[in-house]
């Protein structure tokens, strides 16, 4: 049979175009708030993902092809929806990583789920993101409940032993800003404290815009609170510390849950001597022991080499670790289809203390990482040092000099 020359050409062309498609980069969406009020920490989170992708590419990429990150900026839920639509429909991404903010995560996951594309949450903390029965939503970072658990652990494992008392003898007061962030964590704190048999003497919400907390402090004083748990932003944290000093109120321990308590600027305003000894529960920051967080120094080094500055917060670290776990799983998966990725994610089994952020990785049926935990840190001489869990600690917790 005589083969027509045009047919050969056509077949060659088809083969060529098929191989071109096969060798194109793997597109991965990165959905973060990169402008507006959340931009600073959104960008810090994105940097963690960027470093994880660079490492994956250096190790051969996914299925032998390099990963290309497609950035999508979203500052609110409406923008998150349209960004997720763009990523899933016109950019044809294999997965979307994000998102720092719970509001963005809620909105974007609805879209990716409909498109049947995996969404990997690396930083948003609202528990119910993974409690909606979605099949392709996974989260590596600890949730609000884990933050609350961290503050209770701080009481039972650090504060009570330091004071040499039974934790149940301590009077605990919970104060929190009255929007979603504070209310969610405070509700878990109360629930978990009661479960541990601790005495909660006050639960007091207040507006984050308050200009005076003196009456709240008088109530804490009146209730004889030994331990104060505060969930707050920057302004109310600084106000609280100024006014307890003015009111002469000195609780035995103050424990914050991220937010204003983790920021260096808060210390500048409050004064390092006034926040000395205060505990803080959050994603791990960089004063963490390599022994409990293998790879943390290398990450900080990679960060400095890439961006020419010190990391601005622990958000890059937690995003980096989560992204690395998920990208490794995608590399192991039979294909990049959502089904195969799900199987690969289910197969992940990393014990606690074996990642650069101390967390382990084992995903439940709802997609939540069951080995995600917060670390407990303490302000010592103006530096936020990890004090718990012991393997990751760089300093001993001490309650000798409370405000």
Partner 1 sequence: MEIFLQLLLNGILLGGTLAIISIGLTLIFGIVRVVNFAHGEFLMIGMYAVYLMNQHFGVHPYVAIIPAVALLFMLGAGMQRFIIQPLLAAEGHIQIFATVGVSIALMNAALMVFGADVMTVNNPSGLGTGSVGIGPLRASTGQLLTFAVSLALVGGLHWFLHNTFLGRAVRATAQHRNAALLMGVNVNRIYIFAFGLGCACLGLASGMIAPQYPVFPTFGTFFVLTAFVIVVLGGLGSLSGALIGSILIGVVDSLAGYYIAPDLKEVVYFMIFLAILIFRPTGLFGAGRGSE
Burial (CB count <10 Å: 0-12, 13-18, 19+), residue 164 = exposed
d(C-alpha 293, C-alpha 314), whole Å? 13
- Determine if 160 is a binding residue for partner 1 (CB under 8 A): no
- Determine if 218 is a binding residue for partner 1 (CB under 8 A): yes
Confirm if 241 and 272 have CB atoms less than 8 A apart. Answer: no
Site string for partner 1, 339-378 (x = CB under 8 A): ----------------------------------------
β-pairing verdict for 199-206 and 95-98: unpaired
- Determine if 219 is a binding residue for partner 1 (CB under 8 A): yes
> Contact with partner 1 (CB under 8 A): which of 54, 187, 200, 210?
210
- Determine if 85 is a binding residue for partner 1 (CB under 8 A): no
- Determine if 87 is a binding residue for partner 1 (CB under 8 A): no
- Determine if 304 is a binding residue for partner 1 (CB under 8 A): no
Q: Is residue 67 within a helix (H) or strand (E), and if so which, with residue range?
A: strand 67-73
Q: Is the peptide bond before 397 cis (omega within 30 degrees of 0)?
A: no
Choice between 101 and 374, CB closer to partner 1:
101
- Determine if 200 is a binding residue for partner 1 (CB under 8 A): no
Beta bridge partners of 70: 29
**Residues in 228-247 that interact with partner 1 by CB under 8 A:** 234-235, 238-239, 242-243, 245-247
Residue 311: CB minimum distance to partner 1, A: 17
d(C-alpha 193, C-alpha 97), whole Å? 34
Choice between 106 and 206, CB closer to partner 1:
206
> Contact with partner 1 (CB under 8 A): which of 269, 350, 383, 391?
269
> Contact with partner 1 (CB under 8 A): which of 214, 273, 334, 396?
214
Residue 29: CB minimum distance to partner 1, A: 27
3-state SS assignment for residue 252: coil
Beta strands in 227-345 (DSSP E): 227-231, 253-257, 279-282
Choice between 52 and 208, CB closer to partner 1:
208
State the DSSP string of 363-395: B-TTSBBTT---EEEEEETTEEEEEESGGG-SS
- Determine if 81 is a binding residue for partner 1 (CB under 8 A): no
- Determine if 207 is a binding residue for partner 1 (CB under 8 A): yes
3-state SS assignment for residue 201: strand
Q: With contacts defined by CB under 8 A, how many residues of the chain interact with partner 1?
A: 33
Confirm if 357 and 289 have CB atoms less than 8 A apart. Answer: no
d(C-alpha 327, C-alpha 58), whole Å? 13
> Contact with partner 1 (CB under 8 A): which of 5, 248, 308, 365?
248
Residue 401: CB minimum distance to partner 1, A: 19
State the residues that interact with partner 1 by CB under 8 A.
Answer: 37, 40, 175, 178, 204-207, 209-216, 218-219, 222, 234-235, 238-239, 242-243, 245-248, 265-266, 268-269
């Amino acid at each position: 049979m005589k083969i027509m020359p045009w047919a050969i050409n056509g077949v060659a062309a088809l083969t060529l175009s098929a191989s071109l498609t096969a060798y194109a980069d793997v597109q991965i969406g990165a959905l973060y708030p990169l402008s507006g009020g959340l931009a600073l920490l959104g960008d810090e989170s994105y940097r963690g993902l960027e470093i994880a992708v660079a490492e994956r590419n250096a190790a051969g990429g996914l299925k032998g092809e390099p990963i290309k990150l497609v950035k999508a900026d979203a500052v609110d839920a409406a923008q998150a929806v349209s960004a997720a639509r763009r990523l899933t429909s016109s950019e044809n991404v294999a997965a979307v990583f994000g998102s720092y903010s719970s509001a963005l995560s809620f909105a974007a996951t609805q879209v990716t789920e409909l498109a049947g594309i995996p969404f990997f949450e690396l930083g948003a903390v609202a528990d119910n993101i993974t409690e909606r029965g979605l099949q392709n939503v996974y989260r590596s970072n600890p949730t609000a409940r884990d933050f609350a658990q961290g503050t209770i652990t701080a009481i039972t494992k650090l504060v009570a032993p330091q004071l040499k008392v039974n934790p149940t003898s301590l009077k605990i007061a919970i104060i929190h800003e009255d929007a979603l962030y504070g209310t969610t964590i405070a509700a878990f704190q109360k629930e978990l404290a009661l479960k541990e048999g601790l005495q909660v003497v006050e639960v007091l919400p207040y507006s984050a815009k308050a200009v005076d907390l003196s009456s709240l402090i008088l109530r804490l004083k009146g209730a004889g609170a030994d331990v104060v748990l505060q969930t707050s932003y920057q302004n109310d944290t600084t106000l609280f510390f100024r006014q307890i000093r003015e009111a002469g109120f000195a609780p035995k321990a103050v424990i914050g849950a991220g937010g204003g308590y983790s920021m260096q600027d808060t210390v500048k305003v409050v004064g390092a001597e006034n926040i000395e000894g205060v505990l803080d529960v959050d994603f791990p920051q960089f004063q963490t022991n390599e022994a409990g967080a293998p790879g943390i120094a290398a990450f900080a080094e990679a960060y400095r080499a890439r961006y020419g500055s010190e990391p601005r917060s622990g958000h890059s670290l937690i995003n980096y670790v989560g992204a690395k776990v998920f990208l490794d799983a995608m590399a192991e998966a039979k294909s990049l289809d959502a089904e195969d990725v799900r199987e690969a994610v289910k197969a992940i089994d990393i014990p606690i203390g074996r990642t650069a952020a101390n967390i382990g990785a084992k995903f439940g049926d709802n997609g939540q990482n069951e080995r995600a935990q917060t670390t407990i840190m303490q302000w010592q001489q103006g530096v936020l040092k990890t004090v718990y869990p012991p393997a990751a600690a760089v300093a001993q917790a001490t309650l000798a000099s409370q405000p």
